[in-house]
Amino acid sequence: MSDEEKYENIHEETDKLVTRASADNCLFNMGDMDQFMIGPHYSSSIGAAVRGKKLQVVLVNKPKGTGSRLHTHANEQFNLVLKGKVKYKVGDKEGIAGPGQLIHILANEEHYVVTTDEEDAVYFAAKDVGYYVAGDAVDGKKSGAFIAGEDS
């Protein structure tokens, strides 16, 4: 089976794994929730996600030296780095963000987030619900995550 076939319905499949918040379900221990590959067709992000009526959040874990390939999605996003350091590119801006730093990504803006080689990274991501929890690679390929040494 090709990557394209394997990831053909990836947005619908990952959406089923996102926990839904409700009036009866308002407390979530994200560290203990089942984790899943958020966007395996372009990213190494593993995490737990919760979706409300207007906002969806993810506690993201990325192994060192891995991350997302350049991608977009139709929702605005904020990433608050909790642990480790990440290299990022948002539009024409590039840098390294560490604990306590917040990365803002406009809807439909090309971007990537890749951990440095020193340690794994953890960040809290918040997005509006205007699109799925994951996006799509700019190159149009559903070929998996960025892995240092393979894609550099």
Report which DSSP code applies to 69. Answer: P
Does a structural domain hold residue 20?
Answer: yes
Residue 44, Cβ density class (10 Å: 0-12 exposed, 13-18 middle, ≥19 buried):
buried
Q: Which residues are registered as beta bridge partners of 105?
A: 77
The pLDDT mean for the chain works out to: 96
The CATH number for 123's domain is 2.60.120.10
Q: How confident is the model at residue 149 (pLDDT cuts 50, 70, 90)?
A: confident
Domain holding 117, by residue range, is 3-147
Does a structural domain hold residue 29?
Answer: yes
Does a structural domain hold residue 100?
Answer: yes
CB 151 within 8 A of CB 69: yes
pLDDT at 1: 83
State the Cα angle at 139 between 138 and 141, rounded to 5°. 110
Does a structural domain hold residue 81?
Answer: yes
State the Cα angle at 47 between 135 and 111, rounded to 5°. 35
Does a structural domain hold residue 127?
Answer: yes
Does a structural domain hold residue 152?
Answer: no
Q: pTM for the full model?
A: 0.94
* Tally of domains in the chain: 1
Does a structural domain hold residue 27?
Answer: yes
CA 142 to chain centre: 15
For the stretch 12-36, pLDDT in tens is: 999 999 999 999 999 999 999 999 9
The 10 Å Cβ neighbour count of residue 137 is 21
Residue 9, Cβ density class (10 Å: 0-12 exposed, 13-18 middle, ≥19 buried):
exposed
Report which DSSP code applies to 34. Answer: P
Does a structural domain hold residue 123?
Answer: yes
